[in-house]
Amino acid sequence: MVDSSRQLLREVTTRLDRLTDLADAGGLDAAVDLMATALDKGGIVQAFGTGHSQAFAMEIAGRAGGLIPTNSIALIDVVLFGGRDPSVLADGATLEREPGIVDELWATIHPHPEDVFVIASNSGVNGSVVGIALAAKEHGHAVIAVTSLEHTARVTPKHPSGARLSEVADVVIDNLAPYGDSTLSLEGGDGDIKVGAVSSMTAAFIAQLLTLGVAERIAAAGGVPPIYLSANIPAGDEHNHRLENTYGDRLRRHA
């Protein structure tokens, strides 16, 4: 167990080091530019992910140390704010692969013309993810994708357009996850068992690098970055609600 734990640590830290080098070399600047420009023009960051990639959207939107002008989009919104029956949530995998869900989901978003979309999907091929990216582009929004380039190249797109998220987005950030996401092999009765998935950890790190980059950009221009304080420290709620109120009902937070 100790050896496998160290192996997983190496798999993760090696990728985080590569992402740090990418950021230091300006490899995330294009994404940071789109996000900072959107906020400067009165837009917000619309974050979307399905399955475990919902964690990426939560890392972008509505957390302590994160940007306040952000909105988290989730498939559950078609039930909470749309007309879908809750029974559709019984099989999340089916819903995320359904291209037709996009029209209903888009109707719940009401984006500002200057909003930028940041969409995470390890595979980058499911119907809802590609559909939202296409809808954002059709409505004139820039799209930033966080996906596994190794994985997405080896699987068949599920959207009727035949497109992958990486082929729709204006900027693509590789989360560096391998095909299948898991990094370690264990011997099993029917062959190797793959464990040690890394995409959630690399995606969360990317989300923090983007947040840091945007905050630094705003500060360098003489502004005060609109950052959440922890709600669990004195005056945190007051600070957060005051800044949230400047965006009205454009910021949606899930419980």
What is the bridge-based pairing of β-strands 182-188 and 191-197?
A: antiparallel
Predicted pLDDT at 161: 94
| Identity of residue 195 | V
Written as six digits, the tokens of 248 are 């009205």
Residues with Cβ within 8 Å of 84's Cβ and at least 6 positions away in sequence, in order, are 78, 104
Q: What phi-psi label fits residue 247: left (phi over 0), alpha (psi between -120 and 50 degrees) or beta?
A: alpha
Q: In tens digits, what is the pLDDT along the chain, a chain of 255 residues?
A: 568 899 999 999 999 999 999 999 999 999 999 999 999 999 999 999 999 999 999 999 999 999 999 999 999 998 888 878 888 787 766 777 777 789 999 999 999 999 999 999 999 999 999 999 999 999 999 999 999 999 999 999 989 999 999 999 999 999 999 999 999 988 765 657 889 999 999 999 999 999 999 999 999 999 999 999 999 999 999 999 999 999 988 998 776
Predicted pLDDT at 99: 76
Other CB atoms within 10 Å distance of the CB of residue 34: 22
Predicted pLDDT at 121: 96
Predicted pLDDT at 186: 84
CATH superfamily placement of domain 2-243: Glucose-6-phosphate isomerase like protein; domain 1 (3.40.50.10490)
Predicted pLDDT at 190: 65
Residue spans of the domains in the chain: they are 2-243
